[in-house]
Structure 1
Amino acid sequence: MTTINDALARAHHLLQQDMLGYLDTVEHLTSEYDTDDDTILTVARTEVPRLIAALRGTVTGHKPDLHGLCLGCPPTWVDGRLGREAWPCPTISRAQEFLKNPDSIYDSVPHERP
């Protein structure tokens, strides 16, 4: 059973590294001091719609049900029964926080800003 857990942990790590690498590349290619304006415009035109779609897809999946619980969050055991996060869930709350204050992500995750 440990092998499956280790394999899943490794797969999650690789997925996270792939996504963070993509974001690092887009950030680097669109920084004014590192890249010429034509490259910035080309990257922005192709990657900004992709980033918007990723965020929109995440946000639209996290919506309240009739009881005000998030449909996008998986059920978890709370006080001996299966329950869901109240909406707005942590995913929506954090996404909103990062949209309003993008630099706050560097305070909350162990990732150095490039």
Structure 2
Amino acid sequence: MTTINAALAHALHLLRQDMLGYLDAVEFLTSEDDTDDDTVLAVARTEVPRLVAALRGTVTAHRADHHGLCLGCPATWIDGRLGREAWPCPTIERAQRFLKDPDSIYSATPYARL
């Protein structure tokens, strides 16, 4: 199994933190009781289309090929052979679950909702 070097691991950590920070900011600005309606509307108008595009891009990339395998997932070793996940892959299954039950993300991750 290939391991990543410390610089790449740090870069990936920063990318993850940047994305989570963005989501935290959007959530905070649209859910706080003391945030005025104009702010909520402005944030929703600019950020909801970005969030929809991000999710749409993920769903579009993770689609089935003519064998029923996910084109968005990288090939990995499965039962001693190089192969891809069957569609719907875990990425699509999680996205669907979180769309239907948004609060389930907090029980599925190691951090609590702030």
2:76 corresponds to = 76
Unmatched 5+ stretches in structure 2: none
Aligned-pair identity in percent equals 77
> d(CA) in 2 for partners of 1:80 and 1:96?
29
- How far has the Cα of 1:32 moved from its partner? 4.4
2:67 corresponds to = 67
1:37 corresponds to = 37
- State the AA in 2 paired with 1:43: V
Cα RMSD for the two superposed structures: 1.3
State how 1:49-64 maps to structure 2 within 5 Å.
49-64=49-64
> d(CA) in 2 for partners of 1:5 and 1:97?
33
Q: What SS does structure 2 have at the residue aligned with 1:72?
A: coil
2:7 corresponds to = 7
2:88 corresponds to = 88
CA offsets, 1:77-110, max 9 Å, x none?
1222110000000000000000000000000011
- How far has the Cα of 1:60 moved from its partner? 0.4
Tell which deviates more after alignment, 42-51 or 27-36: 27-36
1:20 corresponds to = 20
- How far has the Cα of 1:111 moved from its partner? 2.1
Tell which deviates more after alignment, 76-85 or 95-104: 76-85
Given the alignment of the two structures, is residue 97 of structure 1 paired with residue 97 of structure 2, yes or no?
Answer: yes
1:48 corresponds to = 48
Instruction: State TM-score, norm by structure 1.
Output: 0.93
> d(CA) in 2 for partners of 1:110 and 1:89?
22
User: Could you list the runs of 4 or more consecutive aligned residues of structure 1 that deviate by over 3 angstroms after TM superposition?
Assistant: none
